[in-house]
Copies of this chain bind each other. A is one copy, B any other.
Amino acid sequence: MTPEEFRRNGHAAIDWIADYWASLDDLPVRAQVAPGDVRRLLPESAPETGEPFDAVLADLDRVVVPGLTHWQHPRFFAYFPANSSPAAILGDLLSSGIGAQGMIWATSPAVTEVEQVVLDWLAEALGLPDDFRSDGAGGGVIQDTASTATFTALLAALHRASGGEVRRHGLGDAGWRVYGSSQAHSSLVKAAMMAGLGEDAVRVIGVDPLTQAIDLDALESAIEADIGRGLTPALVHLAAGSTSTGAMDDLVGAGRIAREHGAWVHVDAAWAGVAAVCPEHRTHLAGVGSADSFVTNPHKWLLTTFDCSTFWVRDRAALTGALSILPEYLRNAATESGEVVDYRDWHPQLGRRFRAVKLWAVLRTYGLEGLRAHVRSGVELAAHVADLVAGDDRFEMVTEPSLSLVVFRLVAGDEQTMAAMEAVNASGEAYLSHTTVEGRAAIRLAVGSWCTTRADVERTWRALQAAAAEG
């Protein structure tokens, strides 16, 4: 493909995307395929001879689209929003065209410096403490996912707590323990597994049955009991917006307990953190000022194409101490001067693409006003759903609405709740996901796409009502 063919095919690809979005309203949200259906439509082997790019576009329509669950559909309300906004897509496209490797500052300085600036911008926009800014001892970095952020936070915690012994000699016999509530994201357990601690090292702390927030007394007791047994608290994981119900841990209280016992405080606000662009939606981050690390995902609710998980640390030396490597072929004057940041040492990967462009494009083209309007729209639509639930005796709220997430159920019971959700999902009209709260099934409706309207929410609600009537 020559550069001129790239122009022509590129315009066609852009148009394919715009047409795809325009078609979504008429497509079933959930894929209507069985295992193997997509695979059977594809040849056994790669072609010997090159095909025109049009053939790829045609197969997107023929093979791929029917096998997609459409995350950009206006009535996709499952899991969490995963906005891929026009601005972000074009920002990421430009990054692909530039094709620079930002593994260290020297391999393409703009990749690192734009990322530092954009992370400082976002930290300020979210009201994060100055300690997280890049002009002090801390700093931000774009990770691929919050799972990776949590894992690196754990590595930094072990590095700090061990005075560097872990990176040199391994975990040893300190009996490291990590703490999180029963509502903590599954990536906490996965991080403990990957770091060599094992699932057993994770202390699962109970929650308040009403708010689903971590029980502070239980946290303190667990930590003290472990210390009494000669074990060592390494990290406390706090959720500012849990995946299941959007529960908010008390960062002030839990943070104080963690610090008193020497543990690293990691705040996981993967979904809910970006809401803090609105001053009125920052209460759940009260106490983040004393956290050691904080993660939120612009690739969820802040319009930035996956992957873009923004992660800040108060003391970058703990992070880079845990992860730094310097092979001969990457030695260079800028690194040795200490004047630059080499992001290679901030995450598990060595290579990294210029992900800051997409976030830069989002912050600039929406502006903070535009981002606030987007978040407020999601919160308002969720409040509207809560009103609809309250207005129908067959349904009840399970927890209070949390920002743009509503968790509810059918009064009739678990089976009816799951059946109603499944009926709506199977119809293709909308797509919802489930959870369990205090042992009972519940439906999660997560608003947040840039193309969801009040009409989409109401249409989804009518489908749920119809399913409840039939069930």
Contact = CB atoms under 8 A, between A and B. Distances in A.
24 contacts: A3-B18, A3-B86, A9-B90, A10-B17, A13-B90, A31-B109, A35-B337, A45-B121, A47-B363, A47-B364, A50-B366, A50-B367, A69-B107, A92-B93, A93-B93, A144-B349, A145-B351, A147-B348, A147-B351, A170-B201, A195-B195, A243-B327, A328-B434, A329-B434
A55 B344 CA distance: 30
Given A92-B96, A151-B194, 13 more contacts: A10-B90, A35-B105, A39-B117, A49-B370, A50-B367, A51-B364, A64-B98, A67-B108, A68-B100, A145-B351, A167-B198, A170-B200, A186-B325
Interface in A141-193: 144-148, 151, 155, 158, 166-171, 185-187, 189-190, 193
B35 A18 contact: no
Contact of A171 (B117, B171, B351): B171
Contacts of A455: none
A89 interface: yes
A295 to B, nearest CB: 13
A229 interface: no
A310 interface: no
Interface stretch (A76-84, A379-387, A390-398): A76-84
Main secondary structure of the interface of A (DSSP, over half): helix
Interface in A114-138: 114, 116-117, 121-122, 124-125
Nearest to A189: B325
Contacts of A282: none
A374 to B, nearest CB: 11
A293 interface: no
Given A42-B114, A365-B53, A82 B101 contact: yes
Interface string A40-82: 0010011111111101110010011111111110000001001
A448 to B, nearest CB: 13
A339 interface: yes
A5 interface: yes
A452 interface: no
B322 A110 contact: no
Interface string A422-438: 00000000000111100
B99 A306 contact: yes
Interface in A325-352: 325-329, 334, 337, 339-340, 348-351
Contact of A109 (B33, B84, B96): B33
A320 interface: no
A156 to B, nearest CB: 11
A208 interface: no
A425 to B, nearest CB: 10
Contacts of A151: 194, 348
Given A10-B14, A117-B39, A244-B328, A369 B86 contact: no
Contacts of A377: none
